[in-house]
Structure 1
């Protein structure tokens, strides 16, 4: 594969920002479908693909979600065109015959092993969440990922009686540049990496 050009790198990472304020421009259902279509191709262990996404757009669902986020995130959730609840399915292994067909019994590795299931779900749905953000940026959307919420409340409000559990929230839409904070620094290679 050839390296991506500087403009694409900037759109995906170096110039992209976490958004805090949103323009009133809508995000179509078709755009959300395209977003998932791109995201689903990112790799996960044994192709387990545990991420599940609930796109919150209706007034009722948005009001419920606002009740579960920290005060500083209420306005972001209220004004974003869409808020994605990026979750994972703790019964993901039931899909293994379809997703890992050359080892149709691979799901048996996870049955009756809740700690292994939780670890696998969290790691792989987080990977998929990263792909989700990059895919959104590829489509020209801005993202505002959030971890300031009560996971028990989100699970109760949206996933009661299911095998889904929230990982993080991600506001989606077209960001208002007026809501950006100054860019925060990042660690340099020698501060964060080692070659051994």
Structure 2
């Protein structure tokens, strides 16, 4: 593989922004399905794929989420074309026999709830990040959020306890008038070392 173009790097990283405001252009179901079909190929440990996605597109669905949102996230979430609940399936290992046939890893997770939870959280977080990059590559903008009450989200959307929320992500076509000035990034020397 060769490096992608500078334009692609700009779209995915260097000029991409977190959006707080979106245009009223809707995001079609076809686009959401295309987003999933791209995002699903990103790697997870043992091909575990623990992320579960709930795409909230209707006013009714957004109102169901509203009581769980912090005040600073309420208006922008209700106005966003799509809000994605990125959740984790702590029984992701039920799919391992087909998704990871290299060896039988299911018993390892089935016998260790802490390991299953940590693996589900780590990998669903990775998958949420992949979702952001995939959205950017498809021309969508996003705004990730952790300002919400997880217990209320879980009660409203995952009352059976099968899944639990990791974080929320607004999606749409960004309106730059809602952006804050871009924050600086730490230098290589501040965060990395080569041994």
TM-score band w.r.t. shorter chain: over 0.9
Matched-pair contact (CA < 8 Å) for 2:88–2:163: yes
CA displacement at 1:112 relative to structure 2: 3.0
Matched, 1:179 2:178: yes
**CA distance in structure 2 between the partners assigned to 1:139 and 1:162 by the alignment:** 33
**CA distance in structure 2 between the partners assigned to 1:162 and 1:37 by the alignment:** 26
**CA distance in structure 2 between the partners assigned to 1:81 and 1:189 by the alignment:** 36
Matched, 1:132 2:131: yes
Matched, 1:159 2:163: no
Which runs of 5 or more residues in structure 1 are unaligned?
Answer: none
- SS at structure 1 position matched to 2:110: coil
- Scaled by the length of structure 1, what TM-score is found? 0.97
Aligned twin of 1:141: 140
Q: CA RMSD in A?
A: 0.8
Aligned twin of 2:168: 169
Aligned twin of 1:194: 193
Runs of at least 4 residues of structure 1 off by over 6 A?
Answer: none
**CA distance in structure 1 between the partners assigned to 2:161 and 2:33 by the alignment:** 23
Aligned twin of 2:31: 31
Matched-pair contact (CA < 8 Å) for 2:154–2:161: no
CA displacement at 1:99 relative to structure 2: 0.3
**CA distance in structure 1 between the partners assigned to 2:10 and 2:120 by the alignment:** 30
Which runs of 5 or more residues in structure 2 are unaligned?
Answer: none
- SS at structure 1 position matched to 2:93: helix
1:86-125 alignment, distance < 5 Å: 86-103=86-103, 105-125=104-124
CA displacement at 1:162 relative to structure 2: 3.6
